Amino acid sequence: MTAVRRGAGFLWEGVDVLEYKAFDEAYRDVTRQVLFGAAQGLPWELRYFEVAAGGHTTLERHAHPHAVVVVRGRGRVLVHPEIRTVTPHDLVHVPPMTWHQFQATRDEPLGFLCLVGIERDRPIRPTEEDLGALRADPKVAEFVRL
């Protein structure tokens, strides 16, 4: 399939709405839809993530980068050491081995497109030592959700 019609509410015809991470409990209320990827023989995946109001993605880092375009709602993003408010059309680049987390506001979902390579390393969660270092910055300490 080369073209898909977008449905209502950020759903795409023929695209399954998946659990964000089936084996990781360190997130809250996030769905994942793979819009392009291995099914089309591509070397990268374009995913649509939606974080429900009040939810958040996993606090993590990894060697592969993320290229993100916010398309729905409002939220905040940690790309360590920076914390930004994001709204639709904002671009977020997560460089390699950089701690990151996306959070929706309490009253609106946060939807974003995220481009990654198909071949990529597994995300790393923070150790207690990592958390101690992250929380040394009060802004980051206030932000992080585990």
Is 114 a known active-site residue?
yes
Catalytic-labelled residue, pool 70, 79, 86, 114: 114
Answer yes or no: are the C-beta atoms of 103 and 145 closer than 8 Å: yes
Answer yes or no: are the C-beta atoms of 43 and 118 closer than 8 Å: yes
Residues carrying an active site annotation: 114
